[in-house]
Amino acid sequence: MSRLLILYTGGTIGMRPSPAGYVPGDGFAERLATQLAAHGGQALPAYRLVEMTPAIDSANLEPETWNRLVEVLARHWADHDGVVILHGTDTLAYTASALSFMLGALDKPVVLTGAQIPLGQPRSDAPGNLALAMQSAAHPAAPREVCLAFHDRLLRGNRARKVDSLALAAFDSPNAPWLGRAGIELQLETASALPAGRPDFKPAAFESGRVALLHCHPGLSHRLVASLLEDPELQGLVLLSYGAGNPPGLSGGLIACLERATARGMAIVNLTQCHRGSVRQGTYASGATLKDAGVIAGQDLTPEAALTKLQVLLGRGLHGAALREAMATPLRGEMTAPAAD
């Protein structure tokens, strides 16, 4: 039995250079085996490679792709001790978050990784990221949850963000401690790991246009906000507000629009635009008006986690009060639990 399943979905890690820049390359299985052998492959866990066809351009990722990934995992789950998913970095944090909510509690690790420089190129970070992901997925003390491995860091998948477009240390979890770090030894933080369980492989009924993000900024148009919130297809909104959760007033127009939307059953989640920190809607009067309008305080959720959580919960049939309650509750370690009133 193969110890690990490596699921190759596409991305920079498998590309080749061309006169026009990096492009998808063929022969990935052979290139992977060669590079792993050159980087201590005999000490790495045995694996079976499955390649998705066609490969995914992560910038063109659609939610339905997450159903394809879950279906592949379901077929191979029983035959492996852990899973490594190779994915493009642009939307890696979205997929890690989505899979955490779709799969739920796990009885083996699922570790996503990718690369900033393709496999086999000078100074490529791919071998190191691969080795960390494989060793983490095979480690007996590894967290039984969806993780993201990158640049010697093991992060909770639904807490991770791409924080740098050019550096090799491209990912971090600004509001949560790392689950592990790789130095001379691989050190895992087991105290904060989620409880193990049996995964859920049911697909979600994703529909485009049901979820949106509204980024507050000076000069935001009341007309634009009203047009967005009155869209009959829209059922969930992530609101990126200032500081501890403060929205612009728009002469009272924003709150009125939000109030009408929540009254129709829309789930609206308020997040801070700050890289670190949490929403505290009662800190300032402007933030308190959001609570009165039925807006959910998203605590320290990342935008990626909030958007995918909304999409998965809607895709599993949650609506109204049940959806709002689930969005305010930590399900897979994605947020700090709200303080009791």
Pairing outcome for strands 161-162 and 153-156: unpaired
Q: Which residue has the tokens 């050190």?
A: 187
- Measured from the Cβ of residue 40, the count of other Cβ atoms closer than 10 Å reads 10
The one-digit pLDDT tens for each residue of the chain (341 residues) are: 459 999 999 999 999 888 888 888 889 999 999 999 887 767 899 999 999 988 888 899 999 999 999 999 999 999 999 999 999 999 999 999 999 999 999 999 999 999 999 999 999 999 999 999 999 999 999 999 999 999 999 999 999 999 999 999 999 999 999 999 999 999 998 888 999 999 999 999 999 999 999 999 999 988 999 999 999 999 999 999 999 888 887 777 888 999 999 999 999 999 999 999 999 876 766 667 888 899 999 999 999 999 999 999 999 999 999 999 999 999 999 999 887 65
- 65 classed as catalytic: no
Strand partners, 272: 241
- Cα(153)–Cα(261) distance, integer angstroms: 40
pLDDT of 340: 62
Given the residues 9, 12, 89, 272, the one annotated as active site: 12
pLDDT of 26: 86
Which tokens go with 125? 């970070």
Tally of CA atoms within 13 A in the half-sphere of 250 that contains its CB? 22
pLDDT of 281: 77
Where are any strands of DSSP class E within the chain?
4-8, 15-16, 23-24, 47-51, 82-86, 110-113, 146-150, 153-156, 161-162, 171-172, 180-182, 186-188, 211-215, 236-241, 267-272, 296-297
pLDDT of 341: 53
Strand partners, 47: 4
Residues 6+ apart with CB under 8 A from 56: 9, 10, 11, 65, 87, 88
Domains of the chain: 4-188 (3.40.50.1170), 211-327 (3.40.50.40)
* Alpha helices by DSSP H, 230-298: 253-263, 285-292
Residues 6+ apart with CB under 8 A from 21: none
pLDDT of 160: 98
Q: What is the pTM of this model?
A: 0.95
DSSP state of 221: -
- Cα(111)–Cα(303) distance, integer angstroms: 20
